[in-house]
Amino acid sequence: MSEIISDADLEVLTGYKIPSKQCQALRDAGVFFLVRKDGRPRTTWQHFNDPIAHRKKEEQYTYEPNFGALK
């Protein structure tokens, strides 16, 4: 599942052949990717199927227990 997505698959998934447009489409979808030296994006199927932007964030609890009840 951590296979790198091929250039051909990225064209199909993003709908663009131009690397800068592919990068923008991935960025808009919240998908983590790296940019190769030739400007093409590189990501894995895991990042595509579970984008960082859509992952459930940990809930932060801001309340404290009632320590007075312990007495």
| 3-state DSSP of the chain | CCCECCHHHHHHHHCCCCHHHHHHHHHHHCCCCEECCCCCEECEHHHHHCCHHHCCCCCCCCCCCCHHHHC
pLDDT band at 50 (very low <50, low <70, confident <90, very high): confident
pLDDT score, position 66: 80
Q: Which two tokens stand for residue 66?
A: 């009632």
Q: Is pLDDT of 27 > 70?
A: yes
Q: Is pLDDT of 48 > 60?
A: yes
Q: Is pLDDT of 1 > 60?
A: no
Would you say the C-alpha torsion 32, 28, 48, 40 has a positive or negative sign? negative
pLDDT score, position 15: 95
pLDDT band at 11 (very low <50, low <70, confident <90, very high): very high
Q: Are strands 41-42 and 34-35 parallel, antiparallel or unpaired?
A: antiparallel
